[in-house]
Structures are given as structure tokens and as C-alpha cells.
Structure 1
């Protein structure tokens, strides 16, 4: 019996890495019976059938799991945005951050294409990133010709997952780090202001002291697992100031003696963050009512 990590999954075949040695494995029928499927990132025990094939017998407990795209045991979630093409959007960023926090992950923000942005845009993006830095997020604002190895090293050891809008440069970053991969990239659609992401499955690539995952771009963010009353927990500063509201179940919308609104008036909470919170709260509240 051997133990390794699943680094790729296509058509029911799971490629497992055991200290650089690759095995193509399949799960035993027991998994299908229990309606449980291994996913990329899982640590598994498998029995070797021949030189490089085997059958998975056991999946170790996951410390965390992202549902879409499916990947487990994530150490660092890197939310990749771009300064331009597509334009930087705090609304979209906040939605990715909410998803990340809902999976109990502490995300890092990486903004690309600094070299393609005007001085005015660079200044605007930097100012917005300062707002997120003050909340406690780690941020990076990079040009596409920066030393990518240094960028990756800042993330620390373990499995790092790149996630974000299509066309922001995730595959380009990986191509710079791993030229031999030659991952396909596509130009940005001028009419849609976004790219068509060419990554169709999750795959892990080895890096110094761990792995990095390229994941398919999101065409829609999935909030089905999030309740409206939980949204406030996923906006860090709103959650913090909300501890001092008069009512414990305050959602910071129309309730009296709301500390969040008081801090908003003082300028301690960015107006755009509160607006995005309200937007998402109302979306999820309306969704639940429909069902």
C-alpha cells in the first residue's frame, strides 16, 4: 500500500504523486456505493496493481474543501484579479472573498497587469488594495514580467490555489513559472471585457515546498451553501464591528442601535464594502424567499 496526493483527475482516473513518482489510479467500488468521490488535493492510500497503476482504498480526512472547482487540503487561496483587461472590480473581488471565507480559507489578493495599466489606474488600484491591507488581507500588485518565483515564494509552503475571473492571467503566470507546460491562454473579448478561460480541469503542479493549482475560471459564483445571516461573518470588518451592535442578531440593514452603521458614518468602514455587503445580503435573502 502506498500513500500520495491526487494531482489530477480526468474521466474517473486519478493521478497520484508519491514523492515525484506518478500512478494512475481508480477508486474501489466502495466509493461509488457510498456516493463519495476523491478529488484533487486528497491524500489517499492505494494498492499498486502494476508498475504505474493502482486502486484507491482510503481517502484521508480533508482539512478543508472547495466545492467549485473541487479541490481539497488548500493551504493558500490566491484570488487573482487584473488591473485592466478585465478592469479591476472590488465588487467581484468581494464576492470571491465571501466564497473563500465560507470555505474557512484565509485568502490572499494578487492583482496582475500593472505594466498594462495607466499611472492613474495603478494609483487607484493601489489605494483600493490599501483598504484591504488595513482589513488584514495580504496583497500583491505585479507586472506580468516580474520575477514570478519571488511572487510564489511569498505565499509560503503547501498547496496554493489560483482562483479568480477568467482572463486575469492565471495561466500566463503558470506558463512563466513552468514554461514546459505551455498552457493555452486566450485574448480578452472586447465586448465582454473578459477572457474565455481555457483550463477545463483542476491540476496541481509542483513548486518549491509544495504545489500550485490552476483552476477553471468561474462563470458564476455559487452561494447556494451560504445563508443570508452568515454573510456578515464573511466581511471581516463588518463582522468585527458587528460584535458591538445592541442586538446579537443584527444584520446591519434596518436594525436600531447598529454599531456597523455608526462606524460606517465615522469612515471606519469603506462605503463600497458596505454597499457590496447589502447587495449580496439582499440577493441571498431574495433567493431563499423564492425557494
Structure 2
């Protein structure tokens, strides 16, 4: 039976790409019985009734998957955050980064709307960019309006499945329109009443950009650490992971434990205070989570 990749899921149909041919498929009833939901990015075996329609017969083993947005087999997460409108949020970025790190997906931070910043805002963003770079992340500063910095994204996209994720209204669709102008994706301005973006992307779809595939996903503003345990959190902060090698106790969670290598680096300024504060807040959130049975 032929095999392909799901590149779009919409209204109960799965659009499978096989040798540049798109087949509209439905999932087998057994998937629902076994609580299997095919996802965009899945490699699948399908049975074609004709050149346009068929049924998905098997979903191959995934290397990773995200729940919000629902997508599988992601190589890279391009986390798109605006410098302003809405204002850059380190706490929201760090929530995204934790989820991405936990799922073993390579993150790339893309800060948009740099053309809208004044001198002071630009200075602050560049400091944040330097701090995240020092932590171990790739950071690109861009503007969809002037197209500055967008060319730096292209090499990172080739030969990968990437997911564009971030708060709504930060300019994900605008950025994709610059990378591939023929897309003409719908964009919306910030809601003046709510002070945040209006959702313009309603479903997950893989879009061909150069030699890579990018998923433009619905914006979302909250992330829950549903499957992350307290002892997992250290590995989701690269600089904290490195500093933890100098902790006296192997099971150190870098809170109240004595002779903690992480706290020493926070005190010396090697780890930014806000990153450590977010780590502690996330740790407490995980500890306070209701147990699952």
C-alpha cells in the first residue's frame, strides 16, 4: 500500500502528500476505537480508492508530538514573538521553550516587528537576544515590514519540518508571507480593545518553503506542563542544566537545597534572574498540579 505524509487536517479529512500528489483521506473507524488521532506531520500508510480519495490504514511511529498545536514528527520549533504589539514576554517565551525542550524539538527564537521599536525598546530586545543566545538558543531579529533579518531564517528551514508557534498577533502569517509571497495568508492587526492579536490561522497545515515544510498553527496563549515532572524541568533550561553539574546533591531542584550550583550562577549574574524566577514558578506549578490517576 502507498505511504505519505499528512500535510493538512480539516473537518475530519486528512490530506496526504504522496509524490507531489494530494489524496483526501478519512481515518479508519478502528483509530477512534483505539484512541488514535492522526496528526499533521504523521507518516501514514493509506489505501486509495481513486486518484483523489482514500482511507488512512496505519499511522507510523512518531518521534514526537505536540498537543497544542496538534502536530507530529517536528524537527524544529520556530517560536515567533513580537518585540512590541504585543510586548515581548519572557515568561510566555520560557513556557514555550520548556514544552519544546521537553519534547526534544530544536527551538529557534524569532523576534518580529523590530521596525516598530524605539531606541530603548530595541536596546532591551537586543539584551534579551544576547541572554538567550548565551543560554544556548538561536535567536533571529526580524521585521516582516522591512524584511530585515528574514533571510537569516531560510537556511534553518531547509530539509526540516518546522512549526511556527507563538502568541496570536505576533506576525507568524506575515512572516510566512515574506518567506513565500504567493501564499497570501490572511493577517490581522492587534485588537485595540483586548490589546492582543486576533486568531487568523484556524487549522494546522504544512506549507512548502524552499526545501522544507513549515506548519502555520493557530495562535494560543496558555501552555500547561501536563506531562512534565519536577525532576524533568532542569533539562528544559539549558543554562540551568549546565550549572546543575556543580550542585552538591544529584537530585537538587535548585530551590532550598544547600550548595546549589544554579543559585551560585544566578547570584553571580551568569544566569539571568528572570530565567531562574520562571524556573521556580514553573516548578511550583508542577508540584501544585493535581495528581493524575
Aligned length: 291
Decide which moves more: 99-108 or 78-87: 99-108
User: Which has the larger displacement, 207-216 or 223-232?
Assistant: 223-232
Shift, 1:176, TM fit: 2.7
Q: Does 1:250 align with 2:255?
A: no
Q: Would you say the 8 A contact 2:136–2:239 is kept in 1?
A: no
Aligned to 1:224: 226
Runs of at least 4 residues off by over 6 Å:
none
C-alpha distance in 2, partners of 1:195/1:104? Answer: 28
Aligned to 2:217: 215
For residues 1-45 of structure 1, the C-alpha deviation after alignment (integer angstroms, 9 at most, x for no partner) is 221110111122100111221110112222222221211001111
Q: SS at 1:6's partner residue?
A: strand
1:137-179 per-residue CA deviation (whole Å, 9 max, x = no partner) reads 1110011131645523333321111001110000111223344
Cα-Cα RMSD: 1.8
Structure 1: 5+ residue stretches without partners: none
Shift of 1:219: 2.8
Question: For 1:47-62, what aligned pairs fall within 5 Å after superposition?
Answer: 47-62=47-62
SS at match of 1:285: helix
2:76 aligned with 1:72: no
Alpha-carbon distance in structure 2 between the residues aligned to 1:126 and 1:60: 42
Structure 1 match to 2:168: 166
Q: Mind listing any 5+ residue stretches in structure 2 that lack a counterpart?
A: none
Aligned twin of 1:102: 102
| Separation of aligned partners in 2, 1:229 and 1:63 | 22
1:287 matched to 2:252: no
Higher deviation after alignment, 142-151 or 25-34: 142-151
Residue 290 of structure 1 and its aligned partner are, at CA, apart by 11
What SS does structure 1 have at the residue aligned with 2:131?
helix
- Residue of structure 1 in register with 2:274 after alignment: 272
In structure 1, how many angstroms separate the alpha carbons of the residues matched to 2:161 and 2:134?
26
Which whole-Å deviations, capped at 9, do the CAs of 1:69-96 have from their partners, x for residues lacking one? 1111111110000011011111111111
Shift in alpha-carbon separation, 1:178–1:86, aligned structure 2, 3 A: same
Q: TM-score, normalised by structure 1?
A: 0.94
Q: Distance in 2 between matches of 1:130 and 1:149?
A: 20
The alignment's TM-score, normalised by the length of structure 2, stands at: 0.93
Q: What is the alpha-carbon distance in structure 1 between the residues aligned to residue 152 and residue 264 of structure 2?
A: 42
Instruction: Work out the CA distance in 2 between the residues paired with 1:154 and 1:107.
Output: 11
- Contact 1:3–1:43 at 8 Å: present in 2 too? yes
Match for residue 111 of structure 2? 111
